[in-house]
Structure 1
Amino acid sequence: MGKLMNIGFGNVVNTSKVIAIINPDSAPIKRMIQNAKDAGMAIDATQGRRTKAVIVMENNELVLSALQPETLTGRFAGKVVNKDEEDE
């Protein structure tokens, strides 16, 4: 098992299974999210907040996060992040 990365609100993902961290603002990504939700392949880890990043996993599941893609990318790279950034 790979390293675990905090994606906000105590939720974590296995970094060895991450394919991409993407911004959800474009129409194709919004369609991809809706298709994943319809197929039961979306994991919503936003705690009711706005989705700011989509994590694509190697099993084609999407994990929705309320943290900025830049924050998640920093965590993925191992950069130390302030706890305050989690409340963005």
Structure 2
Amino acid sequence: MKLINIGFGNMVASSRLIAIVSPESAPVKRTIQEARDRGMVIDGTYGRRTRAVLIMDSDHVVLSALQPETVAARFAGDSEEGGSEDE
């Protein structure tokens, strides 16, 4: 099982990841709120602004302070991308 760093030492299992999306659109905001109401949101932002929303196959919604491109690059295996973004 490969783990992806989503910032601040938080990890998610790459095999459970369905989508990485930006949080700006109304449907994504609605998805976050519905998951929050069900208790299925995992907030990995450490109080910072949410920049990426990870949709998991277990219906969990994971919030990250990293850009979606950074998380996607880490998913693809590019360990050089965004080294200082989670400081």
Shorter chain as normaliser: what TM range? over 0.9
State the alpha-carbon separation in 2 of the partners of residues 85 and 47 from structure 1.
13
Residues 70 and 82, structure 2, Cα contact 8 Å, conserved in 1: no
Please give the secondary structure, in 1, of the residue aligned with 2:5: strand
User: 2:5 is matched by which residue type in structure 1?
Assistant: N
Structure 2 unaligned regions, length at least 5: none
- The runs of 4+ residues in structure 1 deviating greater than 3 Å are none
- Paired residue for 2:78? 79
- Paired residue for 1:49? 48
- Paired residue for 1:26? 25
| Alignment of 1:16 onto 2:22 | no
| Alignment of 1:65 onto 2:73 | no
The TM-score, its normalising length taken from structure 1, stands at 0.93
| Alignment of 1:37 onto 2:36 | yes
Percent identity, please: 57
Please give the secondary structure, in 2, of the residue aligned with 1:85: coil
User: 1:84 is matched by which residue type in structure 2?
Assistant: S
Structure 1 unaligned regions, length at least 5: none
User: 1:68 is matched by which residue type in structure 2?
Assistant: Q
Deviation at 1:55, TM superposition (A): 0.4
State the alpha-carbon separation in 1 of the partners of residues 50 and 82 from structure 2.
20
RMSD between aligned alpha carbons? Answer: 1.0
Deviation at 1:82, TM superposition (A): 4.3
